[in-house]
């Protein structure tokens, strides 16, 4: 029994000492970003965590040698993970947009009304000018139709060629 326990203890010590020695050196840099996207309807907030890790693994094989050879293995590990994701309705922006639309609609109605009044005034002015021109034209026609005494009245051209 004593020999079996000694053999087991020797076997365990041999396997532990014969296995390679490994030492890890990990350097991590964690960057947390908060990204906020604002739409017309909602606000999306994401918290993103970027991890940049440099892992140096130092392996030493064998334990019985006097000058041991060490192998250094460098690994770069870059990971990016979304930690939090939040969607919130953008009610403040919706209210502002509704107010602006209402103000624009009122301004448009006011502008239409002013344009209609201006067009009506211009139309009335044009009609007045047309009546004045027609009256002036009629007055000149009468002046031209009146002939001095002793002059024959004008006859209409029967064939319209300008020669009587």
Tens digit of pLDDT for each residue in 81-105?
888 888 878 788 788 888 999 999 9
DSSP 30: E
pLDDT above 70 for 13 = no
Tally of CB atoms within 10 A around 59:
14
Band (19; pLDDT cuts 50, 70, 90): low
DSSP 43: E
Most confident of 68-72, 138-142, 152-156: 138-142
Give the model's pLDDT for residue 84. Answer: 85
Share of the chain above pLDDT 70, in %: 84
Instruction: With H, G, I as helix, E, B as strand and everything else as coil, classify residue 161.
Output: coil
**Following DSSP, what letter does each residue of 81-137 receive, concatenated?**
EEEEEEEEE-HHHHHHHHHHHHHHHHHHHHHHHHHHHHHHHHHHHHHHHHHHHHHHH
pLDDT above 60 for 18 = no
Cα distances from 70 to residues 55, 66, 73, 103, 139, in angstroms, run 16, 12, 10, 77, 122
Label residues 129-148 b or e (16+ Cβ within 10 Å = b). eeeeeeeeeeeeeeeeeeee
Per-residue pLDDT tens over the stretch 25-78: 778 898 899 988 887 778 888 999 999 988 888 777 766 666 677 777 888 888
Instruction: Quote the Cα angle for 17-19-23, to 5°.
Output: 100
Radius of gyration of the chain (CA): 52
26, 54 in Cβ contact below 8 A?
yes
113, 121 in Cβ contact below 8 A?
no
């Amino acid at each position: 029994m004593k020999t079996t326990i000694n053999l087991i203890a020797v076997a365990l010590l041999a396997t532990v000492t014969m296995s390679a020695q490994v030492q890890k050196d990990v350097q991590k840099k964690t960057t947390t970003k908060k990204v906020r996207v604002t739409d017309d309807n909602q606000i999306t907030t994401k918290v993103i965590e970027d991890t940049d890790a440099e892992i140096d693994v130092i392996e030493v094989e064998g334990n019985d040698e006097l000058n041991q050879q060490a192998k250094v293995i460098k690994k770069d590990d870059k990971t990016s993970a979304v930690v939090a994701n939040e969607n919130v309705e953008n009610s403040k922006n919706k209210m502002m947009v509704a107010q602006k639309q209402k103000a624009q609609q009122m301004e448009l109605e006011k502008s239409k009304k002013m344009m209609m009044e201006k067009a009506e005034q211009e139309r009335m002015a044009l009609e007045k000018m047309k009546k004045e021109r027609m009256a002036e034209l009629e007055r000149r026609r009468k002046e031209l139709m009146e002939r001095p005494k002793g002059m024959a009245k004008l006859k209409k051209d029967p064939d319209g060629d300008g020669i009587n």
